[in-house]
Chains A and B, each alone.
Chain A
Amino acid sequence: MSRIVGIDLGTTNSLVAFVDPKTGLPRVIPDAEGRVLLPSVVAFTPEGVLVGEPAKRQLLRRPEATVYSVKRLMGRGYEDVKGELRYFPFVIEPADGIVRLRVGGREVTPPEVSAIILKALKERAERYLGEPVERAVITVPAYFNDSQRQATRDAGRIAGLDVVRIVNEPTAASLAYGLHRLHEGIIAVYDLGGGTFDISLLRVKDGIFEVLATNGDTHLGGDDFDRALMDWLLEDIERQHRRELAGRPVELARDPEALQELRLAAEAAKIRLSSEERTTLTLPFEEFTYRREITRAELERLIEPIVARTLGPCRQALADAGLRPEQVDAVVLVGGSTRVPLVRRRVEELFGKPPRSQLNPDEVVALGAAVQAHILAGGFTDMLLLDVTPLSLGIETLGGVVSVLIPRNTTIPTSARELFTTSVDGQTVVDLHVVQGERELAKDCRSLARFELRGIDPMPAGMPKIEVTFLIDANGILQVTARELRTGKEASIEVRPTYGLTEADVARMIEESYQYAEADVEARLLIEARTEADTVMTHVRRALRQGGHLVDAAERARIEAALEELARARESADRDLIREKTAALNRVTEHLAEVLMDASLREALGTGRAAEIIGGEATPPPRGAE
């Protein structure tokens, strides 16, 4: 069998990993520049589509054409996301149950955007492994419902991947830990990412990873920390700079570029406050420069209610598993947001023991996905993951009340059978409404789909006996079949998914993606190379202005020449040449960069602000796939 890779499709960053046959260990796959995290950002520019770092750099320049955190929109309806629209600079519109994004003059659905990210990872893996990659295991938050899982699988298909398995993120992480035999017994995996939260409790014993209970919130993560800080900053700016703001043509809170700037600054400050007690945030606006010192305590006051929202699901999972906190042998932290000290403190208080994170919380999910991929490929035969369905599955009965067929935390795959009949003489069609959730009334649960059983022979009411089998497969995705018991014939079922793409939609998108695949790849690689070249040239030109006098004339001349060559190469369509010249320019400016860094450090006089000065334009430190 051909190789299967493991993909962590995160809210903030995505990664791809594989199990190295030489060592038998999972490894994350770096891109050509050695980076393993691919920012889950896609930009739709007039020149073409960008993904990852180059797209992230468009966030400030073209916020309305750059999509980030698309995972929060996967498998969701307009009503679900209405409340957070103001945090997204692109236009989100309702469309047949799902949402559609209007970005850069194009209309795309969330699975299509995710597919662009998946395709970039697929290409990365192919380049690294030197062979075509067609099959993948993709991770999702454990608390993802059926629609969100289907949307993820659709994204894989649009990207040209056979999605062999959808696996839950916390369980994937436990596989990575399990491979190293780090923890056995009862394990709690606390997974707080960029946009989602999961808690899973497992019994790990003799290579079997049995999930006992899982809970979570698919709309809770580091993004919410950023938003809380952003809203607070916005208020503070409006208070401090009322006068300057009065003259602005656009209100600050409605200016997409300013908001992006603010969001990124808030995120960077949050990250710094995980290791520092205080940090200064500097935001240059056209009319004024906003400066503000923030302490960790201030941030913690803002995010405390958000962190507290993770504790209810933890307690519920413990109750469902029939466990007391002290019976948990080890608590494992996953996801970039678990770097936040307040999160660690609250987790420690709840479970009464310090949580661990020996494996990199950014990479552990992708590594686990690779382990699961290797199990599926027949590589690991002694490990087995027994996962559960996170939400109860039921059907709507009379009065809108839900009758539960498969309770939450049931080990999957699992099935339930139910008998249905007609209520009117001669009735030939029976409607079923399938929902997912823990509430008593169907209207409070998540509607999954309506099924229409057709072709029932006309009989007196109550005579037909239709047996419907609801099967949740190992991906946590529902399959429904029906049989008329008297005749034994399969009943035909028409499925109308409440949220999601139809088969026809997916087929069309796959077709389109094939059509444009070749051209897309070439175009994108060229654009990426050009964007990278532009960024490096901008930096070098600024460095020359700031510190050109700090190096001798010969060196300046060498740098000028390299700049010139890159500028010429950039106009060609030869991306290898552009990359080569970019690298050359980088090499020739290494000394200048050092000299500049020393100078700024001396200037900063050890006030602790050196990093801020140097990092003025730099991207914040890498964060996890969340």
Chain B
Amino acid sequence: MTDHFEVFGLPRRLAIDVDELQRRFYALSRQWHPDYYAGAPPEVQARALEQSARVNAAYRTLRDPIARIEYLVQLEEGRTTREGATVRPEAPPELLEEMFEIQEALAEARAGGLDEATRRALEAQRDRLRARLAEEEARLTGPLAAAWDAADAAARPALLEAFKRGLATRAYLRTAIEDLERALGAEEGTADHVAHRRH
């Protein structure tokens, strides 16, 4: 089966020109979208549906730099379905102590509500974690991705491990930020709409 890079005729590289990706996505959509096959025989319709679904899945994955890395790791490890793809969240070592404090404050908040000082402290923590998350994502999609594209076969296993550690840290930070946001009462107006943990 063709992989997401092959769907767009792209090499398996992390650097992707998103404007070019969008142009190819539109062209492939014009070629395969079921709308253009409404009058076709059922087997042709079924093929269009399948191709179109494949194009959409590939586009969704490749246009997002983080999803692109997750997919690359999955491809390199030879997995074909999502099974086992979920990264186990892992705390960044330098934050372990801080996370312990946050968990304690959260437990207190859950038990007895938030006083003003705790709220301010938790808000500060949340902002620090957000900054750390942005940093981790920048590292993954910036220097690490560039290193992968430049690396030879021998250097790649180490980079794959680095990606996995980075993704694990990212997953951990996202969960922690969400816990904090929930405790603080989610952002104005979006409370009911962001309860889900996205990956």
Give the interface of A toward B (CB within 8 A): 1, 164-165, 205-206, 208, 210, 215, 311-313, 315-316, 319, 372, 375-378, 381, 384-386, 392, 402, 404-405, 407, 410-419, 437-440, 444, 467, 471, 473-474
Residue of A nearest to B83 (CB): A419
Q: Is B75 an interface position by the 8 A CB rule?
A: no
Q: How many residues of chain B are within 8 Å of chain A by beta carbon?
A: 33
> Known contacts being A312-B189, A377-B38, A416-B82, is A410 close to B196, with CB within 8 Å?
no
Name the B residues within 8 Å of A416 (CB-CB): 57, 82
Which single member of B39, B189, B192, B199 contacts A377 (CB below 8 Å)?
B39
CB of B193 within 8 A of CB of A415, answer: no
Q: How far is the CB of A278 from chain B (nearest CB, A)?
A: 31
How far is it, in angstroms, between the C-alpha of A437 and the C-alpha of B82 when the chains are bound? 20
Which single member of B33, B49, B54, B192 contacts A386 (CB below 8 Å)?
B33
Residue of B nearest to A372 (CB): B35
Residue of A nearest to B52 (CB): A413
Residue of A nearest to B56 (CB): A411
- 30 A-B residue pairs with Cβ-Cβ distance under 8 Å, sorted by A, are A1-B39, A215-B193, A312-B189, A312-B190, A315-B189, A319-B190, A375-B35, A377-B39, A378-B38, A384-B30, A384-B36, A386-B33, A392-B196, A402-B196, A404-B199, A413-B49, A414-B57, A417-B81, A417-B82, A419-B81, A437-B196, A438-B196, A439-B195, A439-B196, A440-B195, A440-B197, A467-B81, A471-B49, A471-B53, A474-B33
Q: Is B198 an interface position by the 8 A CB rule?
A: yes
Residue of B nearest to A378 (CB): B39
How far is it, in angstroms, between the C-alpha of A313 and the C-alpha of B192 when the chains are bound? 9
Other 16 A-B pairs with CB < 8 A, given A404-B198, A473-B49: A1-B39, A165-B35, A312-B191, A319-B190, A372-B35, A376-B38, A381-B36, A384-B36, A404-B199, A405-B82, A414-B53, A417-B81, A417-B82, A418-B81, A474-B33, A474-B49
Name the B residues within 8 Å of A410 (CB-CB): 56, 60
How far is it, in angstroms, between the C-alpha of A306 and the C-alpha of B37 when the chains are bound? 42
Q: How far is the CB of B185 from chain A (nearest CB, A)?
A: 14
> Known contacts being A316-B194, A411-B60, A414-B57, is A384 close to B81, with CB within 8 Å?
no
CB of A440 within 8 A of CB of B196, answer: yes
Q: Which of A372, A411, A471 has the most CB of B within 10 A?
A: A411
How far is it, in angstroms, between the C-alpha of A381 and the C-alpha of B30 when the chains are bound? 9
Q: How far is the CB of A197 from chain B (nearest CB, A)?
A: 13
Name the A residues within 8 Å of B36 (CB-CB): 378, 381, 384
Q: Is B34 an interface position by the 8 A CB rule?
A: yes
CB of B189 within 8 A of CB of A413, answer: no
How far is it, in angstroms, between the C-alpha of A215 and the C-alpha of B52 when the chains are bound? 23
How far is it, in angstroms, between the C-alpha of A411 and the C-alpha of B54 when the chains are bound? 11
Q: How far is the CB of B138 from chain A (nearest CB, A)?
A: 16
Residue of B nearest to A208 (CB): B26
CB of B83 within 8 A of CB of A418, answer: yes
B residues 150-175 in Cβ contact with A at 8 Å = none
Q: Is B59 an interface position by the 8 A CB rule?
A: yes
Residue of B nearest to A445 (CB): B196
Q: Is B29 an interface position by the 8 A CB rule?
A: yes
Q: How far is the CB of B19 from chain A (nearest CB, A)?
A: 11
How far is it, in angstroms, between the C-alpha of A270 and the C-alpha of B81 when the chains are bound? 54
Which single member of B34, B53, B192 contacts A415 (CB below 8 Å)?
B53
Name the B residues within 8 Å of A438 (CB-CB): 193-196
CB of A384 within 8 A of CB of B29, answer: yes
CB of B60 within 8 A of CB of A414, answer: yes
How far is it, in angstroms, between the C-alpha of A206 and the C-alpha of B60 when the chains are bound? 20
What is the 8 Å Cβ interface bit string for chain B, positions 23-60, against chain A (1 contact, 0 not)? 00010011001111011000000000110111011011
CB of A313 within 8 A of CB of B193, answer: yes
Q: How far is the CB of A190 from chain B (nearest CB, A)?
A: 15
B residues 56-93 in Cβ contact with A at 8 Å = 56-57, 59-60, 80-83
How far is it, in angstroms, between the C-alpha of A319 and the C-alpha of B196 when the chains are bound? 14
Q: How far is the CB of B29 from chain A (nearest CB, A)?
A: 6
Name the A residues within 8 Å of B81 (CB-CB): 417-419, 467
Which single member of A312, A417, A418 contacts B193 (CB below 8 Å)?
A312
Name the B residues within 8 Å of A164 (CB-CB): 38
Name the A residues within 8 Å of B57 (CB-CB): 414-416
How far is it, in angstroms, between the C-alpha of A215 and the C-alpha of B193 when the chains are bound? 9
Name the A residues within 8 Å of B59 (CB-CB): 411
Name the B residues within 8 Å of A378 (CB-CB): 36, 38-39
> Known contacts being A311-B189, A312-B192, A312-B193, is A413 close to B34, with CB within 8 Å?
yes
How far is it, in angstroms, between the C-alpha of A412 and the C-alpha of B49 when the chains are bound? 10
Name the A residues within 8 Å of B195 (CB-CB): 438-440, 444
Q: How far is the CB of A468 from chain B (nearest CB, A)?
A: 10
How far is it, in angstroms, between the C-alpha of A378 and the C-alpha of B36 when the chains are bound? 7
How far is it, in angstroms, between the C-alpha of A208 and the C-alpha of B26 when the chains are bound? 7
Which single member of A315, A319, A385, A407 contacts B35 (CB below 8 Å)?
A385
Q: How far is the CB of B175 from chain A (nearest CB, A)?
A: 11
Name the A residues within 8 Å of B191 (CB-CB): 312
Residue of B nearest to A405 (CB): B82
Residue of A nearest to B197 (CB): A440
